[in-house]
Amino acid sequence: MRLMMLALRNIRRAWRGGELGLLAFSLTLAVSIVTGIAGFSERLSRGMEQQSHHFLAADRVLKTARTVPDSWLLEAQQRGLKTATVASFRSMIYAGEQMQLASIRAVSDGYPLIGQLGVSDAAFGDAQLVEHGPSAGELWLDSRLLALLDLTTGGEAGVGEADFTVSRALISEPDRGNMNEMLAPRAMINLADLAATKVVQPGSLVRYRYLFAGSEAQLADYENWLTPLLEAGQRWEDVRDGQPAMATTLKRAEGYLLLAASLGVALAGAAIALAARRYGQRNSDNVAVMKTLGARRRQILHHYLAQLALLCAAAIVLGGLLGHGLQWALFASLQGLIDIDIPPPVWRPLLVGAITALLCTAVFALPPVWRLSKVAPLRVLRRDTEDSSEGMVASALIGVTGIGGLMWWYSGNIQLSAALLVASIALGLLATVLVLWLVSQARRLSAGRSRGALRLALAAIYRRRFANAFQVASFALALMTLTSLGLLRANLLVDWQMQLTEGAPNHFLINIQPTEIAPLEGFFQEHGLSNAGLYPMVRGRLTHIDQRAIKDIADIDAERGNVNREINLSWAAELPSDNRIEAGTWWTASDLVATERVPVSVEADLAKQLQLSLGSELSFNIGGQSLVAVVSSIRSLDWSSMRPNFYFIFPPDSLRDYAGSYITSFYLPAAEKPLLTDLLRAFPTMTLIEIDALIAQMNTVVGQVSAAIGLVLALVVVCALLVSVANVQASLDSRLQENAILRALGASRQLIANGLLLEFAAVGFLAGLLAALGSNIALYGVQRWVLDMAPVWHGSVFMVVPVLGAMTMAITGWLYCRVVISTPPLQVLARQ
């Protein structure tokens, strides 16, 4: 208790002394930034993850072509999971004289487990959100079906042998993202009514989706139980399997936030190390006096350790609170941009903050305090008794290890942390060599020639050349971080925007009969709509590869390979404009005459999954007839281009004998949606797919991610400035002394001010140059290995960053060194 009281009194006294303030400030800021970023990114990514679960309408989905035993669902329920069942099939819907093929979902009462359904009382109306699907006896039809069947809500319609009341227009479903199920307009009934329709007979094509929701532990537990029971064709999916585009976006966002946070931690650590070093230096005299007055080393250690412990505790509490405030501010500023429910704050970021504070204190603040306890009492009589470089190498090593460890622990990615750390050290060494070389050159060249402020600046840089090298290195690291993250952000956005270009096709039209092509093109022309071209389409099933039946090829995951179903086959004389040949050659007219075997061009990913190579023989079943073709080329294409894309393309005429239809895609602005009703009335047999809903979902995620990135970038700026400030403050004492002497000798304030500005600007400029180089190198690595993107070289940063660095450093230096100029020389000299 007495020790505690003494420690409290000591900390109060030390606080008044001013040295503790800087350390406390850095430590608190580090904790708040770490807690803020950790909490923000964790909650954001959990939010996005939860949001993405909406796309599944569940946490996990079991996809199968047959019903599964009831015991599987019972088992899930016993393990605390919620379950729901969705059966999808295609059938005709009858309403009076009208009939229309629809993709029907029969859903159990629990559906959807996550997310909500949007319904309306009128076709194309505004959506109201409801928790569950139709009750028994009800039929929900999407707006197009209502239009096609000439129905309004309240009308009657039949599916198979059962009659239903059309109670709602179905506007949105959380899990509508699946293209395969969107090929026909959607209708929804209750699962309890499925049997009564009698449309599901043995051999009919029904797909089942069993939905599961619960805690990750329960899900993992159940997955372990279920996996051994799964048969071929049954597939357990989470959101990442179901939505590859979403998965990539989330993964990138996570990688980005992680990267930013790791660098934030490293910068905060550097700031703490600088502040602690200054704290140690400024306390050396005090320790010498205390020792002279009889304090033992143990007492000195107790004294300072108690200060550090209290400081650390205060930083954890205060930094934790500020970090929470930061999270709150971040989410508040995202309001309107983010369309997801942010999960409540969690404890983990606070723990991360607390451990960061403890580690930072131990790694960065403890070594100077340890050295402090070894200060010789003789220092009270002779100031030159300290060897200030003693233990510097050791504490530098401890610091680097500490920063590396923090980054590793923080990112959980040893490769990333090691790469960043090695890059930082390399940058530091490069900065040191560069600064020392430049300083010696400048001194040599300017000897006796330079005057006034320039000479002062050069002399100041030379005198502090090692400190300046460190300053250049750390500022370069901060600038490099900013530059890399800034460029990366621009990069990511450009990349995403390419996927979602304004005006990209947002509607697909299929089931276009050959006779309808001319009238349809007329319709498009009349309304000024452009389309992506009309492509023929024949539905067929791949049955054999090199005369082996698909179902007998054990190492093919038929479900994943997208081959265990009817696939759209097409034909074309020319390679579609956005496709690229990876292997083999595209056919010419003469090839087709010369060969007797039908060639086929296969999409690259599918070819890889099915282990196809040029010359592989493929057998297709098209409407009961068989077609054998040989792989003549392998194509890569962009599935997110929103244009009609095909796994298999045949030469023209080779599919002539098979009944087929055409497909196209086109862009329709949201304001012209009512035109769709005209289109469907004019061409009632065609099927319309609205992709814009899917694009809107993707856009939301891109918006969230880029807004988050902007904010994290702002936080890294704060960290970087903190390092600069700590750097400048570290040199304040010696500057005060030097400039007081200079002014006492008659140097004008203007001269000293110019000297200071020049010195800082030079440091900032050098740091900028290094940062431009470093960021390009770092970016290359990050793009190539972390984000899975094609690397891009940025020359423009060599122009911008050095100038920005010089300006920032000059302004920061000026703000913190004004005191050097404004303090009367006598006041400084009298202190000595």
Partner 1 sequence: MIRVQNLCKTVTSGAQELAILRGINLEIKAGESAAIIGVSGAGKSTLLGLLAGLDNATSGDIYLHGQNISLMTEDQRAALRAQHVGFVFQSFQLLPGLTALENVMLPLELSGHASPETAARVFLEKVDLADRGHHYPRQLSGGEQQRVALARAFAVEPDILFADEPTGNLDEQTGQRIIELLFALNSETRTTLVLVTHEMALAQRCGRQFVMHDGVLTEAVSNAESADTGMKQSSPAQSGELPCA
Indicate the pairing of strand 60-64 with strand 235-237. antiparallel
The nearer residue to partner 1, 13 or 548, going by C-beta atoms, is 13
Q: Judged by CB under 8 A, which stretch of 191-199, 337-345, 378-386, 741-749 contacts partner 1?
A: 378-386
Residues 6 or more apart whose Cβ sits within 8 Å of residue 562: 606, 647
Please state, in angstroms and as integers, the Cα–Cα distance from residue 391 to each residue in 59, 71, 229, 396, following that order: 54, 68, 62, 8
Which of 127, 309, 376, 792: binder of partner 1 (CB under 8 A)? 376
* Smallest separation, CB 439 to partner 1 (Å): 26
* Smallest separation, CB 822 to partner 1 (Å): 17
The nearer residue to partner 1, 380 or 467, going by C-beta atoms, is 380
Which of 69, 202, 203, 294: binder of partner 1 (CB under 8 A)? 294
295 scored as a contact of partner 1 (CB under 8 A): yes
Which of 4, 66, 78, 296: binder of partner 1 (CB under 8 A)? 296
* Smallest separation, CB 333 to partner 1 (Å): 40
Q: What is the dihedral of CA 362, 365, 367, 371, to 10 degrees?
A: -140
Q: How many residues does the chain have?
A: 832
Smallest CA-to-CA distance from 276 within 362, 174, 402 is with 362
- The residues that bridge with 210 in the sheet, in sequence order, are 62, 85
The nearer residue to partner 1, 291 or 743, going by C-beta atoms, is 291
* Smallest separation, CB 303 to partner 1 (Å): 10
380 scored as a contact of partner 1 (CB under 8 A): yes
825 scored as a contact of partner 1 (CB under 8 A): no
Q: Judged by CB under 8 A, which stretch of 56-64, 375-383, 667-675, 746-754 contacts partner 1?
A: 375-383
Phi, psi (degrees; rounded to nearest 5) at 195:
-60, -40
Subset of residues 528 to 547 that bind partner 1, contact rule: CB under 8 A: none
* Smallest separation, CB 737 to partner 1 (Å): 15
The nearer residue to partner 1, 293 or 745, going by C-beta atoms, is 293
The nearer residue to partner 1, 10 or 734, going by C-beta atoms, is 10
Count of chain residues binding partner 1 (CB under 8 A): 27
Subset of residues 250 to 289 that bind partner 1, contact rule: CB under 8 A: 285-286, 289
The nearer residue to partner 1, 740 or 801, going by C-beta atoms, is 740
Q: Is the peptide bond before 112 cis (omega within 30 degrees of 0)?
A: yes
Q: What angle is formed at CA 768 by the lines to CA 759 and CA 271, rounded to 5 degrees?
A: 75
Please state, in angstroms and rounded to a whole number, the distance separating the CA atoms of residues 112 and 176. 12
State how far Cα 452 lies from the chain centre: 51
Which of 165, 299, 446, 616: binder of partner 1 (CB under 8 A)? 299
Subset of residues 6 to 25 that bind partner 1, contact rule: CB under 8 A: 6, 13-19
- In the numeric block, which tokens belong to residue 129? 């959100």
* Smallest separation, CB 373 to partner 1 (Å): 11
377 scored as a contact of partner 1 (CB under 8 A): yes
H helix or E strand, kind and range, residue 603: strand 598-603
Please state, in angstroms and as integers, the Cα–Cα distance from residue 146 to each residue in 140, 481, 657, following that order: 9, 55, 35
Please state, in angstroms and rounded to a whole number, the distance separating the CA atoms of residues 811 and 764. 10
818 scored as a contact of partner 1 (CB under 8 A): no
551 scored as a contact of partner 1 (CB under 8 A): no
* Smallest separation, CB 9 to partner 1 (Å): 8
Which of 291, 324, 635, 743: binder of partner 1 (CB under 8 A)? 291
773 scored as a contact of partner 1 (CB under 8 A): no
- In the numeric block, which tokens belong to residue 540? 């067929």
- Given a contact cutoff of 8 angstroms between Cβ atoms, the answer to whether 809 and 727 are in contact is no
* Smallest separation, CB 16 to partner 1 (Å): 5
* Smallest separation, CB 290 to partner 1 (Å): 7
451 scored as a contact of partner 1 (CB under 8 A): no
The nearer residue to partner 1, 15 or 94, going by C-beta atoms, is 15
- In the numeric block, which tokens belong to residue 180? 């395969």
The nearer residue to partner 1, 547 or 832, going by C-beta atoms, is 832
The nearer residue to partner 1, 229 or 381, going by C-beta atoms, is 381
Please state, in angstroms and rounded to a whole number, the distance separating the CA atoms of residues 104 and 87. 8
Please state, in angstroms and rounded to a whole number, the distance separating the CA atoms of residues 201 and 189. 17
* Smallest separation, CB 18 to partner 1 (Å): 7
822 scored as a contact of partner 1 (CB under 8 A): no
The nearer residue to partner 1, 19 or 516, going by C-beta atoms, is 19
- Given a contact cutoff of 8 angstroms between Cβ atoms, the answer to whether 743 and 362 are in contact is no
Please spell the DSSP secondary structure of 168-190, one letter per residue: EEEEE-TTTT-GGGGSS-EEEEE
Please spell the DSSP secondary structure of 563-619, one letter per residue: -SS-EEEEE-SS--TT-EEEEE----HHHHHH-SSEEEEEEHHHHHHTT--TT-EEE
The nearer residue to partner 1, 6 or 583, going by C-beta atoms, is 6
Residues 6 or more apart whose Cβ sits within 8 Å of residue 163: 156, 157
Please state, in angstroms and rounded to a whole number, the distance separating the CA atoms of residues 148 and 152. 11
430 scored as a contact of partner 1 (CB under 8 A): no
The nearer residue to partner 1, 289 or 517, going by C-beta atoms, is 289
As to burial, measured by CB atoms within 10 angstroms (0-12 exposed, 13-18 middle, 19+ buried), residue 718 is middle
292 scored as a contact of partner 1 (CB under 8 A): yes
293 scored as a contact of partner 1 (CB under 8 A): yes
Q: Judged by CB under 8 A, which stretch of 201-209, 370-378, 496-504, 565-573 contacts partner 1?
A: 370-378
Q: What is the DSSP letter of 321?
A: H
297 scored as a contact of partner 1 (CB under 8 A): yes
The phi-psi region of residue 345 (left if phi > 0; otherwise alpha if psi is between -120 and 50; otherwise beta) is beta
Provide the binding-site residues for partner 1, judged by CB under 8 A.
6, 13-19, 285-286, 289-299, 376-378, 380-382
